A and B are shown apart, each in its own frame.
Chain A
Amino acid sequence: MDFVLGLRCRECARSYPAEALHVCEFCFGPLEVAYDQEALHATVTRERIEAGPPNMWRYADLLPVSPDSPVDLGAGFTPLIRADRLADELGLGEVWVKDDTRNPTGSFKDRVVAVALTKARELGFKIAACASTGNLANSVAAHAARAGMESFVFVPHDLEAVKLLTTAVFGGHLIAVDGSYDDVNRLCAELTSEFPSWAFVNVNVRPYYAEGSKTLAFEVAEQLGWQLPDHVVVPIASGSQLTKIDKGFRELVSLGLVDDAEVRISGAQAEGCSPVATAFAEGSDHVRPVKPSTIAKSLAIGNPADGFYALEVVRRTGGSIGAVTDDEIVAGIQLLARTEGIFAETAGGVTIATLAKLAASGVVRSDERVVVYVTGNGLKTVEALEGRIGPSATIPPTLEAVASLIDADGNARKENR
């Protein structure tokens, strides 16, 4: 069983049944899952969670699905890695990387899709669909295959080649749309009205889908020994992940699983698509849509659905939102790889580069315990590195050639480093 009472409009609090509905019929506000808080309080304990499986389903009580037959590829409970070398470079004290590159299809999207398709199957859907900037495409295609569901995945035509191949391999329908992600999203929002037999994970089952991101907060708190971090840095595309990480921390507090403390939440965007960062900098609560142009394609949402709420969270918690250039994104990917051995996709480069910026400006402080969310695997976006990095040298297979690169002590000669 689950603890779901139904859906509730975040804006006007109207109630709806726990079906495939995502916006309020009256004010168009987003619907959110409402839980039986009393029953959760009586049931959920640290011990109960710790006795669960080593994946996201250990938090099943706090998710809007019955855990009995999840659509599961093993998402979640990814490593939280102490990043001292990264911290040293940035002049920070205690930094941790939540390494969500280690999910079944290489991004945090496996968390949200696992919840969405479990719920979709409960509701009797046979077809999974989505609008995607790439990572979601991978995950929906894979989880649909696992669940024996048909899939229709809609993506912008100019995605990274790897993301197209690693979606198509799962055998669903991959539809490349001649337009931006925002065009794809508009199309899918309209299709939802025309094809009610499709479970669009990020449209009509979005209230359930989005809840999956709370596990990013639950895991960090548990992995820190049931303590909240002081400050987290999270990438912003639609803004959903950031708002759900905040919600996850607050749920742990309200259930008494961690001591109450404010977690500062900061957001990261690419300059080529920074509508939320711009609104933050201007002190506005109106997120003006933009036409994206950035190598961080997984974050290239010009009209973010939860931008408004992400702003609200960042302001309430005393965080900030940074924006970084394409060159800084690549430098961020390299910095994380060079210091910690973790290879992130461009979105991770955005997050690391933003962390660096916020550290330099004193927003992220050296006395804080900081967690940075790295949410996608670098192998998905190798194009971003092409022409920028490569072999240190290309040589014939001779000792002399190596000797020209290495000194007598076995160290690389300085000019070849």
Chain B
Amino acid sequence: MSITVRIPTQLRSLTSGAGEVTVEASDVRGAIDALEAAHPGMEARLLDEQGTLRRFVNVFVADEDVRFLDGLGTPLTDGTTVSIVPAVAGG
């Protein structure tokens, strides 16, 4: 499955400045694995030691927060956009 991942400014040093990258994955965890393979260092920025999403990282699949879906197990379909967004914003 070809997935578009939107990368926030804070992680673009790992993607040579790219704001959008394409990975092959069938769920969110797989997308993070693929990101790590292509852009080493990504996983440690997104996941904590327990392998769960860091407190201050939000991940959206087709604009829905994965915490309302199946978390890292949220399935992805071909052409889906995944957004990584810093949680600390707004209010």
| A residues with CB within 8 A of B | 11, 22-30, 131, 181-183, 185-186, 188-190, 192-194, 196, 200, 202-203, 206, 237-241, 288-289, 291, 301, 303-306, 308
Contacts and interface: CB of A to CB of B under 8 A. Distances in A.
B63 A183 contact: yes
Which of A29, A190, A237, A308 lies at the interface centre, i.e. has the most chain B CB atoms within 10 A of its CB?
A: A190
A28 B56 contact: yes
B63 A186 contact: yes
Contacts of B11: 25
Given A28-B54, A301-B91, A305-B90, 11 more contacts: A23-B56, A30-B56, A131-B90, A181-B90, A186-B58, A188-B90, A189-B85, A190-B85, A241-B91, A289-B68, A305-B89
Interface stretch (B2-10, B27-35, B72-80): B2-10
Which of A239, A291, A303 lies at the interface centre, i.e. has the most chain B CB atoms within 10 A of its CB?
A: A303
Interface of B: 6-13, 19, 45, 54-58, 60, 63, 65, 67-68, 83, 85-91
Contacts of A305: 87-91
A22 B89 contact: yes
8 contacts: A25-B13, A30-B56, A30-B88, A181-B90, A182-B65, A186-B63, A188-B90, A305-B90
B14 to A, nearest CB: 10
A58 B67 CA distance: 43
Given A190-B83, A193-B9, A289-B65, A308 B89 contact: no
Given A23-B10, A303-B65, A28 B89 contact: no
Contact of B8 (A26, A193, A241): A193
Contacts of A304: 91
Contacts of B63: 183, 186
B83 A186 contact: yes
A189 B9 contact: no
Contact of B91 (A194, A196, A238): A238
Contacts of A203: 89-90
A25 B57 CA distance: 11
B60 A186 contact: yes
B19 A22 contact: no
Contacts of A241: 91
A99 B36 CA distance: 51
A185 B86 contact: no
B89 A193 contact: no
A20 B37 CA distance: 31
A237 B54 contact: no
B90 A289 contact: no
